[in-house]
Structure 1
Amino acid sequence: MKLPRSIFYFILLLILALIIFIFIKVTNYYMNAPTITSKEIKNEDILTFLIVGIDDSSSIQRTDSIFVVMYSPKTGKIFLYNIPRDLRVRFQYQGQLIYDKINHVYFKRDIFALRGLIETLLGIKINNYCIVTYEAVSKIVDLVGGIQVYVDKEMKYTDNAQNLRINISKGLQTLDGEKALEYIRYRSDEEGDIGRIKRQINFILKILEQKDKLLKMKKIPKTIRIIYSKVKTDLTLLDFQYLSTQISNISTDKFYYDVLPTKPLKIDNISYLVPLNVYGESYAQFLIKKIKSFLLEEKIDYDKTITVEILNASPQKGLAKIIRDKLIQYGINVIYYGNSNYSSKVTRIIDRIGNIEKAQQIAAILRTKNIETSLNPSLAVDVTIIVGEDYNISVLDY
C-alpha cells in the first residue's frame, strides 16, 4: 500500500528533525562547553563575548580588532566595547613576565590568555569567544549580497609586505566581500586607528541591518558552514540557535558602542596606549559598571546619576547632541543641551557642587582634561560642559 504524499513528507520531516536534534546534542557533548541556554548561564543578566578579528593571510596572526560584546536578553540592549590594539599589557611568555601590545597576546600565547587579560582589565567574566578571520568577514558580506556605505574620502593604500592593496573611490558604494575588507582595514589617513574603528563599527551596523538575510532558512546552512569553517569559537550549535533568535529581535537603536579610555605612552620610541586611572583605580572597570547598569535598566534612575548640562561654544553644529547621546550610554542625566551664548576656544568641564570626582568622570568619558570648580548650586546640575573649538569629535565618533 502506497503512503499518501502528505504523510510521507511528514515522516521525512520528523526523521530530519530527529537527526538534527541528535547532531546538536552530540556536537554539544563533545565540544564539552555549556550552552548559553544551560542552567548555569541562563540566569545571567548579561551575556559577554570576546570577538577578535585576525588576518589569516599572514603567518603572524595578530589580533587586528578586539571587541567585548555585552548583551542583555532582558532589555535587548547590546554594547560593543573596543579594546585598542596598541594597549600595553603584561603577560607570561616563555617563562617570564613581559610587557607588550595586547594585539600580540593571541600570537604569542592563545585566546585564553587574551580572554583572561581582558577579564582582569575590565573586572568581568567573559562567557564565550569568537575568532573571526578576514575570509569569514568577506564570505558573510557576499552572502548578504554586499553592503552599501558612504565612503567620505578616497581610500588608496598599498603594503606589499602584508599583501594589502586598498582602492575605494569616494561616494556611495556597494561593497562586496573583498572591498568590505579593504574598507575596514584602511587606516592611512589623519584619523589612523580611530578612523578604522569608526569604519569597523559602521560595518557591523550594516551587517546588523541585514541580519534577516543571514537568518533566512535557505541561507542558514551557508551561515553555519562559514561559522564553523572560518570562525574559531567555543559557542555550540545550540548557542548559535539561541543567539540567532535573539539577533532577529535586536534593532540598531538598541546598539551602543565605545572604546576603552586610554592615554598615550611612548617607551623606547614605541607608541603604546595605557588605561586611564582615577584616584589610582581603573576607570575602565568603573565605566563597565555603568554600562552594565545601563544595559539592564529599562529606565534610568536619574536620582543616582551625575546630572550635567552641555553648552556648545564651538562653531561645530550639532556637537552638543552628539555628546549628549554618548553620555546617556553611561547613565548620565543630561538635563539640557544646546548652544552657548558665547564662544570658547577651550573645552571646559566645570564642577558646580564641589564634587570634583564627578567632573573627572565626565572628563574621562569625553577624553578631555580641562577641569575646574565654579560653584553654582542654582543651576541644579553637578557638572557644566562647555564644548570649545579645540574639541575633537572623532574621539567619540567610533
Structure 2
Amino acid sequence: MKFLMYILGIIFSIIVIMSMFFPFIDTYAKMEKLPDPYYFLVLGMDTTDVNEKVSRTDSILLVGVSEKKEKILVLPIPRDLLVTIDNSTIRINAVYVKYGIKKLQEIIQKMFSVKISDYLIFDYGLFKEIGNIYAPVKIYVPKDMYYEDYHQNLHINFKQGYNYLNGEELLYYARFRHDALGDLGRIKRQKDVLFALMNAARSSGLSKILYSINKVLDRTVNSFDFEKLFSLFIVSKKSNINFLSLPIEVVGDYVKLDNSQIKYMNKYLTYFEKPSDNKKVWITLINNMKNFNLSFYTVMRNKWKNSNGYLIEIVDKLPDINGIQHNKSYLIIKNKKYEERILKEIKNRYGNIAFEIIDAKQKPDLYFSIIKFLSDNFYNTLNSDIIILVGKNS
C-alpha cells in the first residue's frame, strides 16, 4: 500500500510540474523559425502614447539577427540623416509620419541592401511598464541629474554612477531634457534605457519574458506575433550584441552618408563579420570634460571634418575611472600598426596639445578599466583601433 501511495505521489508530482510548464512547452513547440539573416526596424516616438500624433521619429534602429553566427547587430540611424524621396530631400526622422512605415522600410532596405521583415514602433511610456517588470534596472548615469516640476509632480534626482531604477524612474531618465546637450543627450539616454532593458530581459526568468512579450505586443504598433517575438528572445539569449556606428559626414545641422564607406557597412550587415578589406582607422572619441556646455557630438564631428580614412565613433559619457583625471586628454593605441599614422593626424588636428598615452602592457589596470567603461555602456570595443579621451586642453 505504501509503495502504491509512493507511485501515485510521483505521478501526481509529475502532472503538477507538467501543468506548470505546459505553457512554456507549448510556446516552444509553436515557436516560429526566423530567417537567417533576419532584419527589423525599431522606431521610438517622442510621446507616452504610441497612437498620439507626432511630427518626427525620435530614434531609428536597424537590427540584424543571425542565429548561425550567434550575433545581433544594432545600427542606430541618425535622425538628421538626409534622404531623397520624389526629388525632395528631407530628414529621415520625418519619413514615417509623412509617408508611412513601408516607405521608411524601402529607403533603409535600399540604403543597406538588406530585406527588412518586421517593425516595432514604441512610445516612451513603454519604458515605465517594461521597467517595472524587470526593476530594479541598472543604468549608468554619467552626471548628476536634478530637476523638480511640482506642477507635473516630477522629481528627478539621480547621482553620477550606477543607479538601480524602477519603471517610472526609467521613464524620467529617458525623457530628461534639462542638460547642456538638449535633444542629443535625451536621445542617447533613451538608447541607454532600451539597451539596459534588453540586458535585463536576457538574464531574467521565462515567466517575466512571456509577460513582457505580451505587454510589448499590446503597447506598440508592430508587425510581430507572439511566436516570432519569443523566437527572437531565444536567439538573443545566446547571441552577442554588437552596436555599429554609421559612417556619416556632418554638414551644417544635418548629416549625410559617407558613401565611400557604405559598402563596408553593407558587408558587415550582410555577413555579420567585420570586413577584412576595410582600410579605415576606427577612432573612438570619449568626452572627458566636466561642465562642458556645448554638444560634444557636434564639436567632435566638426573637429574631425574631412576625416577621409577614418571611422569616427563618439561617446558622450564622462568616465569615472581611478587614475583618469577629468579634463585631461589620453590616447590608447589598440592597433599598433596605425601608431605613426594616428600620431601625425592628432598633431595636425590638435597641434602641440599633450596627450598621455596609456599602454596596455605598462598600465593594464587603467587600460582595462577604460575598456570596461565602454563595454558597460554598450560600445563594441573590438571595433576601435584608437581610443581618445578628450579633455579641455584639446
Q: Deviations over 1:356-384 (max 9, x none)?
A: xxxxxxxxxxxxxxxxxxxxxxxxxxxx9
Q: Does 1:306 align with 2:282?
A: no
The percent identity for this pair of structures is 24
Q: Which amino acid aligns with 1:335?
A: K
Q: 1:143 aligns with which of 133, 144, 163?
A: 133
Q: Secondary structure of the residue that 1:263 maps to in structure 2?
A: strand
Q: Give yes or no for contact 2:213–2:230 (8 Å, CA) kept in 1.
A: no
Deviation at 1:84, TM superposition (A): 1.4
> Could you say which residue in structure 2 is the equivalent of 1:105?
95
Q: Report whether the alignment pairs 1:263 with 2:250.
A: yes
How far has the Cα of 1:144 moved from its partner?
A: 0.9
CA distance in structure 2 between the aligned counterparts of 1:344 and 1:135, rounded to whole angstroms: 47
1:128 Cα deviation after fit: 1.7
Q: Between 137-146 and 192-201, report the one with greater CA deviation.
A: 192-201
Shift of 1:171: 1.9
What are the within-5 Å matches in structure 2 for residues 155-170 of structure 1? 155=145, 167-170=156-159
Q: Which residue type is aligned with residue 171 of structure 1?
A: Q
CA-to-partner distance for each residue in 1:8-28, whole Å, 9 max, x for gaps? 665674798489849986xx9
Mapping 1:309-348, distance limit 5 Å: 316-321=329-334, 335=337, 337=339, 340=343, 344=347, 346=349
Counterpart secondary structure, 1:344: helix
Find the aligned partners of 1:171 and 1:390 in 2 and give their Cα distance.
19
TM-score scaled by length of structure 1: 0.61
- Output the amino acid matched with 2:330: K
Asked if residue 274 in structure 1 is aligned to residue 272 in structure 2, the reply is no
Structure 2 residue corresponding to 1:64, chosen from 54, 58, 79: 58
Work out the CA distance in 1 between the residues paired with 2:48 and 2:64.
26
Partners of 1:221 and 1:309 in 2: how far apart?
39
Instruction: Name the CA distance, whole Å, in 1 between partners of 2:62 and 2:393.
Output: 25
> What residue is the counterpart of 2:106 in the other structure?
116
Deviation of 1:277 (Å) = 3.2
Task: Call closer, same or farther: CA 1:284–1:182 in 2, change over 3 Å.
Answer: farther
Counterpart residue identity of residue 178, structure 1: E
Q: How many residues align?
A: 309
Tell me how far 1:120 sits from its aligned partner. Answer: 1.9
In the alignment, which residue of structure 2 is the partner of 1:153?
143
Correspondence for 1:88: 82
3-state SS of 1:129 partner:
strand
Query: Could you say what the CA RMSD is over the residues aligned between the two structures, in angstroms?
Result: 4.6
Cα deviation, residue 206, structure 1: 2.5
Q: How many angstroms apart in 2 are the aligned matches of 1:194 and 1:178?
A: 21
Give yes or no for the alignment of 1:247 onto 2:236.
yes
Assess if the C-alpha contact under 8 Å between 1:137 and 1:177 holds in 2. yes
- Tell me the distance in 2 between the aligned counterparts of 1:174 and 1:22: 32
The answer as to 2:117 corresponding to 1:127 is yes
Alpha-carbon distance in structure 2 between the residues aligned to 1:392 and 1:218:
52
> In 2, Cα distance between the equivalents of 1:392 and 1:142?
43
Q: TM-score, normalised by structure 2?
A: 0.62
* In structure 1, distance between residues paired with 2:282 and 2:233: 40
Provide the secondary structure at the position in 2 that maps to 1:86. Answer: coil
Gaps of 5+ in 1: 29-34, 266-270, 325-333, 349-383, 394-398
C-alpha spacing 1:197/1:4, structure 2 compared with 1 (3 Å)? same
Work out which of the residue numbers 256, 260, 267 in structure 2 matches 1:289. Answer: 267
CA distance in 2, matches of 1:5, 1:238: 35
Distance 1:264 1:342 in 2: 21
Distance 1:197 1:22, change over 3 A: closer
* Distance (whole Å) between structure 1 residues aligned to residue 96 and residue 153 of structure 2: 21
Cα-to-partner distance string for 1:300-332 (whole Å, 9 max, x where unaligned):
7x5x4428698x9x96214544xx6xxxxxxxx
Q: What per-residue deviation string (whole Å, max 9, x for no partner) do you get for residues 137-188 of structure 1?
A: 221111111223232223356999xx89673433232222222223233455
